[in-house]
Amino acid sequence: MAAPSAIPRRGLFIGGGWREPSLGRRLPVVNPATEATIGDIPAATAEDVELAVSAARDAFGRDGGRHWSRAPGAVRAKYLKAIAAKIKDKKSYLALLETLDSGKPLDEAAGDMEDVAACFEYYADWAEALDGKQRAPISLPMENFESYVLKEPIGVVGLITPWNYPLLMATWKVAPALAAGCTAVLKPSELASLTCLELGGICAEIGLPPGVLNIITGLGTEAGAPLTSHPHVDKIAFTGSTETGKRIMITASQMVKPVSLELGGKSPLIVFDDVDIDKAVEWAMFGCFANAGQVCSATSRLLLHEKIAKRFLDRLVAWAKSIKISDPLEEGCRLGSVVSEGQYQKIMKFISTARCEGATILSGGARPQHLKRGFFIEPTIITNVSTSMQIWREEVFGPVICVKEFRTEREAVELANDTHYGLAGAVISNDLERCERISKAIQSGIVWINCSQPCFVQAPWGGNKRSGFGRELGQWGLDNYLSVKQVTKYCSDEPYGWYRPPSKL
Ligand SMILES: NC(=O)c1ccc[n+]([C@@H]2O[C@H](COP(=O)([O-])OP(=O)(O)OC[C@H]3O[C@@H](n4cnc5c(N)ncnc54)[C@H](O)[C@@H]3O)[C@@H](O)[C@H]2O)c1
Ligand SMILES: C[N+](C)(C)CC=O
């Protein structure tokens, strides 16, 4: 599909229709692979948040919830399936927009769109299954009481998402929230909102009841903050940086508003000396160079057994040098640009600080010479790293891997856990018992054995420590948007008998 010269001009998606932002402001959209401005998106402010939340509230309670929040799950499933079908129809177009907006290779964007459709389908099934799980009985120790559990939608939810997998990260929240019967206001990242706005178009096309999903684009401080602090938003589900996550938690705490937080990471990949080196190298590359390393769970700390470290690094450098870095629309591209000039500068600063602190830039570390425009960075491998260095401690969110050697399993685990983050970790070894031991020892929400990064909608996703709390995907993803209500019935004809009845005289 040829790249359009401009992208569609959209408004905010509120109450089932398009609206210009109240203050009339818009933000430019820059294609990071060419640095060309290709369009703009609306910049919502508190006034628009007010309208979006009000539309979501109306939709939640309309006709006593009969059309959405209290409708049979099959009703909501029908809409989720219809969204999935439209995503599949428009896969090529949506992938193209995602690539133009974010700089990720078109093949990766196409894969993301398949995951988006699969996620809507998956939660359609959960919407249907939910009805069968209502009124689950609780066994009580007293015969004159009966108790059961209702799972009810939390209400209006605010969904705030990042730019690295723009539509996919939004879908991980939108699909389960809608399956549960919530209504939502989605605030995608100002750096990549195009495909999320297209989701608004899809909701209009399939006739999703107005207000069930509202999409407001704009800056975090102007649109995300008023959504977080809005008294009629019942929960915030956030994916983004740890710094923003802390701010969201502080704001939400003022209203004791529940939050779930999917935050950053600095995940380890441990490679032992009993492996097929080329196979392990490919996983190390996929673990830190896919999506130009802009992956929350990127295994950006590579721990190599000292016996294979030299051979491994030689092969890693050779493989890294053979990656096709190009305009992300070119066939076979495996490393596109990073998302923005700001992100480019930030990553370059990390590399120069590592150099200043005494680390060695073994490979990469610069703009590829054949690309004069666009925010491209070579896959970068950094050695001679100490655990006090910034490159070891902080999330880069770019194609930069730092390497340390270890001698024993114990040392490998200590290094792996030497981080404030706890999102993911990986181990590669032919000794599966050792892999099992290490999967228990790593302090993270996700562990990969003999691979890095594969992600399935059925399996829980989320972190520990400063990587956040709560789990997305699978049944856990649905639970994020359900409130558990206990209903207990006194079922004896006899009076309870705690107080003495008053005298009838
Ligand atoms: N754990 C996960 O599953 C996961 C997945 C993807 C990305 N991430 C993390 O996301 C980060 C990269 O994304 P980013 O740069 O978009 O993060 P970010 O924190 O800068 O922004 C995320 C979202 O929050 C909004 N925001 C910013 N300030 C806000 C405020 N004060 N109040 C409310 N909303 C505000 C932004 O507009 C954006 O929509 C990385 O740290 C990455 O690890 C985590
Ligand atoms: C969850 N994942 C890997 C798709 C995106 C994280 O940044």
Which protein residues are within 6 Å of ligand 2, measured from CB?
164-165, 168, 295-297, 455
Main-chain dihedrals φ then ψ at residue 77, nearest 5 degrees = -60, -40
- Select from 297, 448, 452, 467 the residue to mutate for testing ligand 2; criterion: most ligand atoms less than 8 Å from CB: 297
pLDDT bin (cut points 50, 70, 90) of residue 4 is: low
- Burial of 261 from C-beta contacts in 10 A (0-12 / 13-18 / 19+): buried
Whole-number Å distance, alpha carbon 317 to ligand 1 midpoint, is 31
Pocket test for ligand 1, best of 27, 102, 164, 219 (most atoms within 8 A of CB): 164
Catalytic residues: 262
The answer to whether the beta carbons of residues 230 and 207 sit under 8 Å apart is no
pLDDT in tens, 225-237: 999 999 999 999 9
- Supply the mean pLDDT for the chain: 97
Average pLDDT value for residue range 86-109? 98
CA dist., res. 122 & res. 131, Å (int): 16
Q: What is the pLDDT of residue 1?
A: 61
pLDDT of 3 higher than 80 = no
The pLDDT assigned to 7 comes to 87
Indicate if ipTM > 0.95.
yes
Q: What's the per-residue H, E or C state across 161-211?
A: CCCCCHHHHHHHHHHHHHHHCCEEEEECCCCCCHHHHHHHHHHHHHCCCCC
Residue 5 has pLDDT above 90, yes or no: no
Instruction: Quote the CA–CA distance of 102 and 328 in Å, as a whole number.
Output: 10
pTM above 0.95, yes or no: yes
Percent of the chain whose pLDDT exceeds 70: 99
pLDDT digits (tens, 9 = 90+) for 474-500: 999 999 999 999 999 999 999 999 999
Kindly state the helix (H) or strand (E) to which residue 102 belongs, with its residue range.
Answer: helix 91-102
What spacing in Å lies between the alpha carbon of 330 and ligand 1's midpoint?
A: 29
Q: How confident is the model at residue 504 (pLDDT cuts 50, 70, 90)?
A: confident
Per-residue tokens: 495:
């009076």
Mark 287-310 as b/e (b = at least 16 C-beta within 10 Å). Answer: bbbbbbbbbbbbbbbbbbbeebbe
pLDDT of residue 495: 94
The yes-or-no verdict on residue 243 having pLDDT over 90 is yes
pLDDT in tens, 249-306: 999 999 999 999 999 999 999 999 999 999 999 999 999 999 999 999 999 999 999 9
What's the CA-to-centroid distance between 150 and ligand 2, angstroms? 32
Evaluate: CB of 170 within 6 angstroms of ligand 1. Answer: no
pLDDT > 90: percent of the chain? 98
Residue 247: CB within 6 Å of ligand 1?
yes
Containing 344, the helix (H) or strand (E) segment is: helix 341-356
Cα of 165 from ligand 2 centre, angstroms: 7
Give the tens place of pLDDT for each residue, 307-354: 999 999 999 999 999 999 999 999 999 999 999 999 999 999 999 999
With the C-alpha atoms ordered 273, 276, 277, 281, is the resulting torsion angle positive or negative?
negative
Distance of CA 357 to the CA centre of its chain: 32
